[in-house]
Structure 1
Amino acid sequence: MSATVLVLVEAVNDYLPILEHMGFTLIRAPSPALRAQAIAAHADQIDAVLTRGPLGFYAEEMAALPKLKIICVIGAGYEHVDLVAAKTHGLTVTNGAGVNASSVADHAMALLLALVRDIPRADASVRRGEWAKISRPTLSGKRLGILGLGAVGEAIAKRGSLGFDMSVSYHNRRPRADLPYAYCSSPLELAKASDFLVVATPGGAQTRHVIDAQVLAALGPEGFVVNIARASVVDTVALVEALQNQQIAGAALDVFDEEPQVPDALKALDNVVLTPHVAGLSPQASEATVRMVGNNLTAFFSGQPVLTPVAL
């Protein structure tokens, strides 16, 4: 397969040879400076772009690449890919929806357990030579609310219901009749019905700050929030205020507004658990993600329908 791919992602480097073995030529540009240089130097060679949601790909970049035909996004989110511009330029856009769902769901449950059981502080106390024993809530029998019941949300729901005997409610763009969980008509209603609220919905303008001060207040002082989706879904200012004022019990976050910068106000709190956007990273997920990209590229350049198209 003779096509040249501009690779903007940095998290799956160990698996990029899969694409080379499939016959694709890669131009690696994992920083803003290298990205600009590559577009300027190789504009007449680039047939495809590999990016991820937070990195995106923009109208002016598409306009600068006359041979560009397809943009592949690893992961489900594509919030910073200019879909209007892609449609204008006649491009195809794909994503990796569902490929890393198991990894993300595992991480969501790990964050929830660490947060609710206060594992980080317990670990730190033992390392300091202390033996502080604090009674913490159990997960069993609690109410799990999931915002966004796509592949990731469904995997989280399965783990919560079957693994921890939790009742599951969810809010989605539309109810899912194929699953046995309780549908809530709004994020506010979902928060009222939840002890643990897990954010698993895509980012973008439609979901920006849907978890706001009102929703957090509805979750209540014994409620916990976990976000493994996109930081934009949660109003960070409102979240910090709710945590500082003990309006909610705690939060666990894998995503942040200005990565890799994390607000000092969050880092100063002892009722939060923070990880560096690693929920979707596992050897299995990374390999599957790159193979999905390769399969989409192979299908496209062979004149076949892509496997995971994004509607433009």
Structure 2
Amino acid sequence: MKRPRLLITRPLPARVHERAGVLFDLTIRKDAGATQGADLSAALAEYDAILPSLGDAFSREVFAAAAEPRCRILANFGAGISHIDLAAAASAGIAVTNTPGAVTGPTADLAMLLLLMSARRAGEGERLVRSGDWQGWYPVQLLGHDVSGSTIGIVGMGRIGQEVARRAAAGFGMRVLFHNRSPKTVPGVEATQVPLDELLKRADFVVLTVPGGSETRHLIDERAFALMRPETHLINVSRGEVVDEAALVRALGDRRIAGAALDVYEFEPAVPAALRERDDVVLLPHLGSATRAAREAMGMTALDNLEAFFRGEVPQDRVA
């Protein structure tokens, strides 16, 4: 039986490549950067399946340029699918899956890392030591914000938001507020669901764990920053477009918030100089799920979805 042709758009862990090579007639694109639109359209015409990832923008125009696509499924590597036009994929008869479970724990860990770094000015302190300008300890050097016993406000209480809540409550005794579109409880955690405006007013740390897309674009904007207190820290491990970066720069410049810690950016990989130059901002290069185990699990989950699809079954993680 002829094996389906599969394109993996960026290099993945070796174990994922090995398994994919057994299951499929495999092509691995060697470039680690995002695949361009014309190449995506060509791939839709040439392959039975594509395993893309964040940055591979399958827009309506990309689908339209592949008039009679051979591709039957996009098995996305990652939980977020805002880079895929789901309606256009459905119109083209192409299924879409994602890998939600594998990213949860590592991304929640990273959210807490960013929170701690921002609270304790760890990035600023590390840069000071590396510069060679550190003159030694003194009592009021780089005073930060206590984490234990403070209030965390989690925006979006899906898998990642719930894991952040558990870490914050159990590990640091934090009071947990959260905002979610639908009523939610967090098993094992005393957490209070509140309107977004109330969360922004009360939280010492605002942590964003919502999906990307049009519904959450600029959810944190000029108005949202006006509701926060000067002691508030913003942490974003969701999608860059959830935060209006221009409004964030203004809020930091006017000292309306205490700091920000970001793993994602509105125009990624471009990061404004106005953020890069500030000491009150922690910047990481989209490391949310970047552990070897998590990235291998993501790849294996994508392959599980592909295997199920080509057996004629409904993949577990089908989203469209």
After TM superposition, the score normalised by the length of structure 1 is: 0.92
Residue in 2 aligned with 1:228? 237
Q: 2:135 aligns with which of 130, 133, 142?
A: 130
Q: CA deviation at 1:39?
A: 4.9
Question: Could you tell me how far apart the structure 2 residues matched to 1:33 and 1:204 are?
Answer: 20
Residue in 1 aligned with 2:20? 20
What is the one-letter code of the residue matched to 2:10? V
Question: Could you tell me how far apart the structure 2 residues matched to 1:290 and 1:118 are?
Answer: 35
Residue in 1 aligned with 2:73? 70
Residue in 1 aligned with 2:157? 149
Alpha carbons of 1:62 and 1:26: their partners in 2 closer, same or farther (altered >3 Å)? farther
Deviations 1:74-99 (A, max 9, x none): 22211120111111122211111121
Q: CA deviation at 1:238?
A: 0.8
Given the alignment of the two structures, is residue 51 of structure 1 paired with residue 52 of structure 2, yes or no?
yes
Q: Secondary structure in 1 aligned to 2:306?
A: helix
Note if contact 2:35-2:55 (Cα within 8 Å) is conserved in structure 1: no
What is the one-letter code of the residue matched to 2:63? M
Alpha carbons of 1:38 and 1:212: their partners in 2 closer, same or farther (altered >3 Å)? closer
Unaligned runs of 5+ in 2: none
Q: CA deviation at 1:35?
A: 6.8
Summarize the alignment of residues 1-312 of structure 1 with structure 2, pairs less than 5 Å apart. Answer: 2-10=3-11, 12-29=12-29, 30=31, 31=33, 36-37=38-39, 39-40=41-42, 45-63=46-64, 64=66, 66-127=69-130, 128=132, 129-132=134-137, 133-179=141-187, 180-185=190-195, 187-310=196-319, 312=320
Note if contact 1:103-1:285 (Cα within 8 Å) is conserved in structure 2: yes
Question: Could you tell me how far apart the structure 2 residues matched to 1:168 and 1:38 are?
Answer: 43
Q: CA deviation at 1:109?
A: 0.8
Note if contact 2:153-2:206 (Cα within 8 Å) is conserved in structure 1: yes
Question: Could you tell me how far apart the structure 2 residues matched to 1:243 and 1:177 are?
Answer: 33
Question: Could you tell me how far apart the structure 1 residues matched to 2:193 and 2:151 are?
Answer: 13
Note if contact 2:118-2:280 (Cα within 8 Å) is conserved in structure 1: yes
Q: CA deviation at 1:60?
A: 3.9
| Identical counterparts, % of pairs | 36
Alpha carbons of 1:148 and 1:233: their partners in 2 closer, same or farther (altered >3 Å)? same
Q: CA deviation at 1:298?
A: 0.4
Q: Secondary structure in 2 aligned to 1:100?
A: helix
After TM superposition, the score normalised by the length of structure 2 is: 0.89
Q: CA deviation at 1:208?
A: 0.6
Question: Could you tell me how far apart the structure 1 residues matched to 2:113 and 2:15 are?
Answer: 25
Q: Secondary structure in 1 aligned to 2:101?
A: coil
